[in-house]
Amino acid sequence: MSKLALSDDILMEIEKPARYIGHEVNSVVKDLSKIDVRFAMCFPDVYEIGMSHLGIQIIYDMLNSWDDVWCERVYSPWVDLDKVMREQQIPLFALESQDPIKNFDFLGITIQYEMCYTNILQVLDLAGIPLKTVDRTEEDPIVIGGGPCTYNPEPLADFFDIFYIGEGETRYRELLDAYKASKAAGESRTEFLRKAARIPGLYVPAMYEVTYKEDGTIKSFMPKEKGIPVSILKEIQMDISNTYYPMKPVVPYIKVTQDRVVLEIQRGCTRGCRFCQAGQLYRPVRERDVELMKQYAMEMLKNTGHEEISLSSLSSSDYSKLPELVDFLIDKCNEKHINISLPSLRIDAFSLDVMSKVQDIKKSSLTFAPEAGSQRLRNVINKGLTEEVILNGAAMAFKGGWTRVKLYFMLGLPTETEEDIRGIAELSNKIAAVFYETVPKEERKNGKVQIVSSTSFFIPKPFTPFQWAKQCTKEEFLDKAYQTKRAITEQLNQRVIKYNWHEADTSVIEGALARGDRRLGDVILKVYEKGGIYDAWSEYFDNDKWMDSFKECGLDVNFYTTRERDLDEIFPWDFIDCGVTKEFFKREWLKAQGEQTSPNCYQSCQGCGANRFGGGVCFEERSESNEG
């Protein structure tokens, strides 16, 4: 094994040293003398979470398929190693070469959730890269961000040289070629960024200027120079069958969050839930070829030795070839004793039949996501799920042998009333009652059913119909959780219902960051300077650091959360075009307030704008009558 960046003494002291030594199965090592561009790909959270992310595996595979590029991986050091690296001034390093990140041409950071923002600063700081792009020199890597949070990149605008808006398969070759040409011509960092800003899908924050009105809302957002685009259209890979996919994903030495082969069967979702950002960002729905999926599954299992395969999509039930693919996998995987995981399924007869074939019923629980307790509120959020469908699904599940059901709800949704909140308890109770009505006493395993009802707090996100909605305060959130808990204790079947709820403090900060503007960069920096990292982890999140930092920066957290936006307000993210129009979101927002539902894309086109991409579900002829 080549020399490691960490000494044996350090590796013996820290938790899970295998996070930092590299050399995993299928990791890529190249000859530096033959490389033109070094690219460090970072997931700004602990190794076990980052290693489970399919997007990084795809980009890693793509970049390393090019002879002139070497892509390596880096993750946030856990708090124990973070302390050691600061004390001993050890620079952050890439896993494959163990070389300092500072020596690379690019540092790519995937931004999957708002509560990792301080970890991004941790990565830059430990790498010895100036936190703000304005302070970087020709010696520093180009810092580029991608992932869903780049659809409102403004809170992070000070820290990134470039944001890549959209799906990563389309523009990296063009960007890296531009970088090589710029380097060969002896051009400055600024000149390269000026050229990068002209590449479709790339946003260079330093090339844009924001002005604000007296009330704190945005007055204008414009490029500083001619030739820089006013609006940036997301990048999208329309043919997702004939594109990059990691046939040899890196296999970790230690157990990670998703320790399995992941097969992405489609992108996008037709359901149109009004709270769901992913369902809007990844339109239109595009399916992967089923024969290719069969081939990929077998090859990836062979190349990794994994004993489980998971089908990945926002709504697996909508994949048109799911029955054929599942039958194939059951046939092949049963021979090899490989488990099949099927997340994102609707609870209908087909799905339950499939799950009964692939799951060990004694170990598994079944998940429903009604999201709201009443039919009225499910109509507001356009969930497309009736109580009858939920209870029928539960009855079929109980007949099939399941005895544990997980239910997911949201508190604080627009127009929510006490009656809607009480509906969470009542629906949980009705599902428990269905068990006792459906399963004869002599057939009940362990004597009873278990219902686990969990609530998260609703956070309005950009590029959804609810981007105009006000968010609840911490006190309102906690009051709603208390009301839910009290209502559950009043139910006949309360003893078999367990209730969990999310933390309110974190939800407030996440909401502020989700719809924040550039001024929040100062807040994030102050929180980091106070020692804030791993904010996504409840044991390290410190709400006081955030509240104090808002005050010190002269900003009010309520401006970003509890304020209901005017329909014509300019949002920090309005310069980005996700393919779905703001007019469509406005129509859906008004329909929500009128408790009107919209059909899914397979039933009737709602004119969202995604048909401009010229493919996917927008151009398919297919009927869909299932609810859910």
CATH number at residue 221: 3.40.50.280
The confidence score (pLDDT) of residue 624 equals: 44
Give CA–CA dist 218/212, Å, rounded.
4
Is the distance from CB of 108 to CB of 508 less than 8 angstroms? no
Residue 591: pLDDT over 60: yes
Domain interval for residue 38: 8-233
How many structural domains are present in the chain?
1
Determine, yes or no, domain membership for 171.
yes
Going by C-beta distance under 8 Å and a sequence separation of 6 or more, which residues neighbour residue 468?
A: 460, 564, 565, 566, 567, 589
The confidence score (pLDDT) of residue 623 equals: 44
Determine, yes or no, domain membership for 161.
yes
Helices 290-304 and 322-336, packing angle to 10 deg: 20
Q: What is the mean pLDDT of residues 577-605?
A: 96
The confidence score (pLDDT) of residue 334 equals: 79
Residue 627's pLDDT band, with cuts at 50, 70 and 90, is very low
Determine, yes or no, domain membership for 180.
yes
The confidence score (pLDDT) of residue 146 equals: 98
Give CA–CA dist 548/419, Å, rounded.
36
Strands, E assignment, 85-130: 106-110
Kind of pairing between the strands at 308-312 and 286-287: unpaired
Residue 561: pLDDT over 60: yes
The confidence score (pLDDT) of residue 351 equals: 75
Helices 189-196 and 172-184, packing angle to 10 deg: 150
Residue 341's pLDDT band, with cuts at 50, 70 and 90, is confident
Determine, yes or no, domain membership for 155.
yes
The confidence score (pLDDT) of residue 364 equals: 63
Convert 86-114 to b/e letters by CB count within 10 Å (16 or more is b). eeeebebbbbbbbbbbbbbbbbbbbbbbb
Residue 360: pLDDT over 60: no
Determine, yes or no, domain membership for 492.
no
Is the distance from CB of 46 to CB of 75 less than 8 angstroms? yes
Q: What is the mean pLDDT of residues 327-349?
A: 83
Determine, yes or no, domain membership for 122.
yes
337: alpha, beta or left, given left = phi > 0 and alpha = psi -120 to 50? left
**In the chain, pLDDT over 70 holds for what percent of residues?**
97
Going by C-alpha positions, the residue among 293, 340, 285, 295 that lies closest to residue 318 is: 285
Determine, yes or no, domain membership for 47.
yes
Determine, yes or no, domain membership for 321.
no
Retrieve residue 54's tokens: 């399919």
Residue type at position 460: P
Kind of pairing between the strands at 339-341 and 308-312: parallel
The confidence score (pLDDT) of residue 622 equals: 52
Instruction: State the pTM of this model.
Output: 0.96
